[in-house]
Structure 1
Amino acid sequence: MLSQNWYRRLLLSYFPIFLLTVSILIFLSFLVINEISRQETAKADRISTGYMMDTLERSVSEVELDILSDLETASVYPLFLNGNNVDNTAVTYQTIDRLRLLENNNELIASIYMYRDTDQQVLTLHGIKDLNAFADRDFVQAALQAPEQRGWSSVRSFAEMSNDPKREVITMYKRLPLPFGDQGLVVINISVYAMKQMIASMFNPQVSFLEVQDASGVPIYPATTTDDAEHGKTLTTLHSDRLGWTFESGIRAGQLFAWVSVISYIWILIGIFVVGVSIVYIIYITRKNYKPIQVMMERIESLQLGGESARKDELSLIDHALESLIEQTIDYEQQYHENLLIRRRRLFMNWIEGEHPENMHQELQNVHIFNDYVRSSPTEVSTELPYYAVIVVEIKDYDAFREKGNVQEHNTLKLALTNVFQELVQQEGLQGWSEWISVRRAGIIIYGIQQEERQWNRRLFDLAANSREWVEHNLHLTITMGTGITVHDLPQVQQSYESALQSLGYSMTLGRDGIVMYSDLPQGREQESYRYLQNIADLVKEFRLTQEVWRDHLKQMLDRAENEPLRDESIRSLVLSLLQMLSRELEGMSEPLDTLLTGDAANRAMEAIAEAETVEDVHQALLPYLDQVYTHYVEAGESTNYHALIGEMKLYIEDHFANPDLSLNHLSERFNVTPKHVSHLFKAELDIKFIDFLVQLRLQRAEELLYSTEDTIQNIAIQVGYANSITFGRVFKRIIGVTPGDYRKLKMKPASYESK
C-alpha cells in the first residue's frame, strides 16, 4: 500500500512537467547534434586526462610500494634503527647502499632519507648527520608532530644539504618499523620536475591544454596560469586522491567546433530557460516528496548498511539496513565481550608475572576491574592504605575431574568457579579478580582497604575457608588454596603470587584443612631433604635384613618430614629415592619380585603417592606396596636358603678356583640362581666381592708354588686358573706388590708358611 501511494504522488507531481517537456522538444531537437559532438569531445578529453592522472598515480604508487617492500624485507633497516649494533659504521654503509639502490632504480625519486629517534640522527646518501644540522629538519619535526598523517604532501622546496639548490618535490613519510613503529621515519621525496616531464610527454599542446594544481592551489603544470581566452573552455576536471592534485583540461580556442551553428541564439536561450525552469520545478517537487526518505538514505549510506540491497527500492533498502544494523549490533556485543575476556586474562597474567603496563590503573578501568576501589591514578593521594593479596586455588585429583563430562562442560564449570570466587570475595566486603592460570590452577587477586594487618589476614583465612567449603558442598570438588603475602602497591602483586605458589607447595604438611597460609610456612631456609638419605639407607638395610622395625621407622621418617615441615615435592622425592634404592638392592632375587618392583603395582603406588593430599595419604599408599614387596622378598630368601647356599658356593670355589672358566655366570648355572643374586650373597654374607675372593685363593696358591717348586711362571699361571703368564703377572704385581719372578728371586714366603 505504501509503494502505490508513493507512486501516485510522484506521477501526479511530474505530469505537468511532462506536458511542458513535450512542448519544447521541437525547439531542442536541433541541439542534439551539437551536444553529441561536445560530449564526444569531452569524453575523449576526459579519457586522455584520466589516463595521464592514472599514469602519474601508478608511478608514484610503484615508488611507494618498492620502497616500503624493501623496508619490510631488508634486515639492515632494523639494525640501523636500533642504533646499538656492534659495528654501527657497517650498518650505516649497508643502509646507504640500500637507499642508493632504491633511488637509482626510479628516476622519479629525488631523495630518500631516514630519521632515527634514539639519537635524532638523519641518514642520507651523503652520510649521517644530526637533525639540527639537517637542511630539511623543519619537515622532519613537522612529521614527528603528525605521525598519523598519510599520503603525499603539497609541492614544497627541498634541499638535502644547506648549500644545495632548492628543488620542488612532493613528500611522503612513514613511521618505522612498519607499519606503526616508534623508532624513526623514512622520508620519500619525488621530483616534481620529473613528473612534469612525464606530463609533457603524454599530451599535444597544439590541440589541447592542461593545467595541474596541487592541494594548495599552486600551479604545477604549466608553471604559470594562462588566460581563458588563450586555452579555451575547460571540459574535464579530475582530482587525484592519492596526490591531492587537480587536473583541468580542454580543447584550445578555435579547435572545439569548426562550424558555426545556424540556429538562432534566441531559440537557444528560450530552450535553455524552459529546460532550466523544468529542472528547477522537478527538483523542487522531488525534493519535497522525497525529503524524508532522503534523510534516511543519507544516514544508511553514511553507515554503509545498504549492501547489495542498494539495487532495490528505497523501502527494501531501509528494511535491509535495519536488519543489518541489528545483526552488527549483536555481533559487536559478542565480539566485545570475547575481547574483554581475553584482555582481562592477558592483563591478569602480566600483572602476577610482573610484566604489567605502567598505566596499570587505567588498564584496570578499561577492563572494568576494581573500578570502585582502585585509585584513578597512582599519583592520587589517599588517606587509606590499600591491601593486595593473591590466593592460588588448585583442583585436587584433576584426572578424575577431567573424566567427568566433556571439554565444554569443564570450561563452563571453570567459568562458574571464577564467578563464585569473586562473589564470595565481595561478600567479605572486598574486591576480587579471578582467572585460570593453568589447567588445574586459578588465581584470585584480592583488594581492599584495611586498618589492621592481623584483621586482614583473618579475613583472608575466612574467605579461603568459605570458598573451599562452598565448592566442596555444591560442586563436589576438592580444592587446595595457598595464600600469598600482603602487599600495598600494584607492582608488588607479583611477590604475593610467588609466595602463594610457595604456600601451595606445602599442602601436604600444612594444608590439613585444604588451606595454607604463607604466615605458617617455616621461616628461613627450607629443611634440607638430603638429611633423610641416611634414614632411607638404614630403612632399606632393615628391610633387606628382614627386621620388622622398618615399618615403624618409615612412619617416623614421614612424621618427621611433616613436622619440620618439608615441601610436597621434597616428600615425594624422598619416597621415590626409597623405592629406587630398594629396587637396586632387591633386583634379581626372583622373577616375581622383579615384576613387583618394576611392573604395574609399582606404577599404581607412584600414582597414588602423586595424588596424595596429606603425608598420611602418602603413608597409606606406600605401606601396602612395601608390605607386598617385603612378603615376596622373604619368600625368595627362604626358598633359596641363601645361608647354606653361600657355604656351598665357597667350598665349590675353593675346590675349583684353578678352572679358568669360573665366573658369576658359571656359579649361576651351577646353583640355579641369577648372577646378580650370587654377587649380592657374597657381599652380604662374606663382606667381599666374588672376584676379590677368587683372586685371593688363586694368588695364595701361586705364592706357595713359587716358593716350594721350580715350575715355570707360565705353568704356575695355568695351575691357578690364568690362561697366560701376562695376565697372571699383572694381577700378581697389583695385589702382592712385586712380579712373580721377583717374588721367587727375593725368596719371599707365603703368609700361610709364616704362620706355621
Structure 2
Amino acid sequence: MKALSFFRRGRRLSRRWYRKLLLSYLPIFFMIVSLLAIIFFLAVGDLSRKQARQANDVFARHVAQAIEHSLRSIDQTLIKDIQTETFRRFFFREDNAYLAAYELSEKLRTIVVNTPYVDSMYAYRLSDRMILSPNTMVPLEQFGDREFIESVVRDGIPGRWTERRPFSELPEREQARPVVSLVHKAPILSGSAGFVVVNVRVDSLKKLIDDMSGIGISYVNVFAPGGGYVTGSARPDGQGNVSQPSSGIELSQLESPYTGWTIRSGLKNATAGELFSAFSIVWPFLGLAVVLAGAVIIFYVTGRHYRPIQSVLARIHTYSVQKSSQLLGKSSGDEFAFIEMSLDKLMEQANKYEKRFEEDLLIRRKHLFQELLDGHRAFVPEEWADEAALRPLSGGSDRWGIAIAEMDKYAEFCSRYDERDQYLLKHVLNSVLHEIAQSMNGSVWAEWLSNSRIGILYGWQASMQTEEVIVRHCEQVKDWLEANVTFTVTFGIGTTVSRIADLPLSYADAQEALNYRPALGGNRLIRYGELGRGGSGGSGFEHLHHIHRMAHEFRIGQRQWRDSFDEMFRRMRSSVIPRDDIVHLANYFVYSFSREIGRLPESYQDIWSRTVLPRLTEALEGSDTLEEIEARFRKALDDGANQMDALRETKSGHAISREVRQYIEERYANPDLSLDHLSEVFGFTGSYLSRLFREEFGERFVDYLMKVRIENAKTMLRDTSLPVQEIGRQVGYTHAISFIRTFKKAVGMTPGEYRR
C-alpha cells in the first residue's frame, strides 16, 4: 500500500517542476563540467609527458647503478685476491709450483662460483706463457682466448671493462659466448709477472636489466665508449650491430663514470608516447563531445523516465525488502537491513585486505633489509625517509652497525625439535633481541637471513659509543639464552658506520667474524676489530706437510700418526684460522689419506671406504667447531687403524715386514742398504722381500728408504748447522750430488733452499 501511495502522489507532480529543475541546472552543468574537463585533460597530458620522461630517467639511472655496482664489486674482489699469497706463489713460481697452481686453480673456482655474474676467469704468467683457469693449465698456444691475450700483451692492459667480445676456453668443446672482460696486472703496481682476466657474461647483465625492466613497455641498451653494443633489450646482428626499433622512441641517455658505457633507454612502442601527445590535444574536444552527449542523454532519460522523487523512494524500498529477504533468509520491513548487511560485507572485505597488506608489508620489510645488507640498492636520504613505514628503526639514528647471530649446533637443534617448536624458539630469540634493546634505549631491526642466522641492524645516536652498546646488547642476549633456553648462539659483530650506504661493509665484517667460530668456539661474541691476523700456527704449507707425513705414517701402520694428528690440530687451534680455511684443510686431509690408502691392497681400501671415509665426510658436514672435527676425525681414524692393524696381523709376512721396516729405520744411514743386503740379513730372496714390502705398505722398498732418509735429512737441516754434504753422508748418501738430486726430487727444492 505504501508503494501504491508513492506512485499516486508522483502522478500529481506537474511538468513545470520538471522543466524548472532541468533548465536551472543544465547551464551550470555545461559550464563547470566543460571547464573542468578542459583543464583536467590539458594538465594530465602535460604531466604524463613529464612523468614519463622523469620515470625513464630514474629507471636508466637505476640500471646504470646496478650494472656499475655489480662490476665494481667484481673489480674490488679481484684486486683484493691478486694481492694474496696464492696469486703471488703462482706468478713468481715460488715453493712447490704444482701446489701453487692447484691452490690458485681452486681459488679461481671459488671466485667464479661465489661471485655473481662472473662467467670465468684465468691467470696468464709472462715468464713461461702459461694459462691457468679453474678447469685447465695450458700454454698460450693451446688456449681458446689466445687472440685476446696477445692483444693485451701487445697493446697494453685496458683501463676499463672491455667491449663485448666472444670467449671460449676450449673452442673444440664449447661454443663461444659473448662476454665483457676486466684485466688486472699481477702484481697490481708493476704487472711484471702477468695478469688476471675475469669475464662477465653479457647474458647475465641482460637478465639483470630484464629483471629491472618488469613489464615490457621500455627498452634499455648499453653501448661501449667506441659505440659497440654491449647488452640490453635489442638483439644484435651477426656483426654485433644494433639499431633502434622503428617504433621506439629514446627518452634518456647517460654515461657511467666507472665503465664509460652509455645507457640508452626509452619506450619500445613510440605509438604510446605519440598517443599521449595526441591525446593532450584531443582530450578537450573529446571531453566536450562527452559533455554534449551527456546533456542529450539527460534530456532523453529525463523525458522518458519522468517520475516523482517519491516514486523513486518507493522503488528503493521495494528493492531493499527483496534483497534483504535473499540475504537474511527472512522478510524485513526495514530497508536499512539491506544497508546494514552491505556494510558488514564491506567491513569483512576491508579486514581481509588489511591482513593481506600486513603480510605484504612483512615481505617488503625483509626484502628492504636484505637490500641494505647486500648493497644492491643505493639509498639517498630522501629514499630512506620514504621507507620509514617499512623499517622499525627510529628516525634519529646516525650511527649504524651490523651483527649476525648464528645458532650453534643447528643440525642437533633441528633433530631435537619439530618445526612448530623451532618456529617458537626462533620467535623467542627475535623477541629477546628487541626487548633487551628497548631496555637500553636503543632500536634494532632483526630479520632472519637463513634457517640458522639472524641479522641485526643497530641504529644509535652518534653521542653514544655505538660498538660498545652493540657488544653489551649481544652479551645480554647471549646470557639470557644461556640461562633460559636449551640452545646457544654465536654473535659476529661488524664495525660501525656513519652512512646507510656503508652497511654492506659492516655486514661483510660480521660475516668474516663468524668465519672464525670453528676455531674460537660457539656461544660467544666475535668482534671483527679484535680478530688477530696471521696467528702462530704456521703457514698452510706446514699444515699440508703434516697431513702428508701423517697420511704416510697411517698407511704403513706407524703409531706416530697419532702424534702428528695431535700436533697438526694444536697448530690449527693456535692459528685461529677462518671457517673456509678449516674446510679446505679438512677436505685436503681426507683427499691425502684416501690417496695414500689407494696404494694398499683392496682389503685395506675396503676398510677405509666402509668404516672411515663415510664418517669423515659426515664429520665435515655436521661439525660446527674445530674441536668437534678433531674429535670425530680422531675416532674414525682410530677405528680404521685398529681394523687395518688386525688385518695385518693375519698376514703371514707381517712380522717379517715389521722387522724389515724397523731395521731400515735404524740403519738408514748405511749406504750399502739394499734388497740384497736385506736378503743376507733376513735370509729371504730380494724379490720376496720386495713383493712383501709392496703388499704390506703399498710402496716399493726404494721409495720407502728414500722417504726415511729425506725425512731425517729435513730434521737435521732444521735443527742442526751441519754442512749439506755431511748431512747427506749421515743419511746414507756418499755423494753430495746424489743427495741434492734426490732431495730436490722429493721435496721440490734443494737442501740449501729448504734450510733457508
Larger radius of gyration: 1
User: Does 1 or 2 have the higher relative contact order (CA < 8 Å, sep 6+)?
Assistant: 2
